[in-house]
Structure 1
């Protein structure tokens, strides 16, 4: 038969193990709570800051860069140089009635070969899609708004 002291020692050992497990769980819960408190403080700090009134400087246009969608007041200077040249020709007197891509290639001083013409067609269509030019009729491109003159 087991002694009463032996039974008490076994019971004490089980209780101590349970206390150790509970302390470990409590430590994990306290860590989670501290991360939540820190996150809430960071969010409150960010929300309390006034929005920045200083804009980051925008890099200049880069050859081969994407064509941004045109918004009111946006100048053609935000376009890559190739696109600026196309818009400039379309806004000129020669482009007033609209230009086919072969004519556009000639006006830009490019060789009128299929590769150059198709490249211009792709760029002109992209300018139309993004609001920088318009397609007067199939294959004929003009400036979006003709300058006064």
Structure 2
């Protein structure tokens, strides 16, 4: 009977060794998966940023007097090598520089929502506080996209950023809003 117990111990030792090998393999794969996810997230954020930059560049192009909010999407689709493929096409979102007398309704809806959240806040707000209040999931991509919009709104006079990452309604806009034409 001694040899049966020896055989079982040998098999147990072999199984233990295999478990340890698989745990090491799993650890390596988990690390690789984490790195792949990071790379994928960076690429997604880069794609969104490039799309926003291109949209801004398109917004600076001359627009016809007939429809100043025209979105040059149809021609872009026709000439695209992906024409006919199922994909989401981003239109051009224009954020004009704020001028006295300019109303919030000249902004795209998402920017209006952001302005409303910032105006309703008791103090300065961060992008990650705004994202859930405008109905978006609180993922890093959505937060970065919203932060980009906030920076654009600061750049164009709709908001102020006295401290990095803290946004408030533009004092210039609220100070001059009573002098509207």
Coarse TM-score class (shorter-chain normalised): 0.5 to 0.7
Q: 2:111 aligns with which of 83, 93, 103?
A: 83
Distance 1:75 1:58 in 2: 18
TM-score, normalised by the number of residues in structure 1:
0.54
Q: Say whether the 8 Å CA contact 1:61–1:78 is kept in structure 2.
A: no
SS at match of 1:86: helix
- 1:1-149 matches, cutoff 5 A: 59=68, 64-92=92-120, 95-145=121-171
Q: Which has the larger radius of gyration?
A: 1
Distance 2:142 2:162 in 1: 21
Unaligned runs of 5+ in 2: 1-64, 72-90, 176-181
Shift of 1:116: 0.2
**RMSD across aligned positions (CA):** 2.5
Which structure: greater helix fraction?
A: 2
Unaligned runs of 5+ in 1: 1-55
Distance 1:88 1:61 in 2: 25
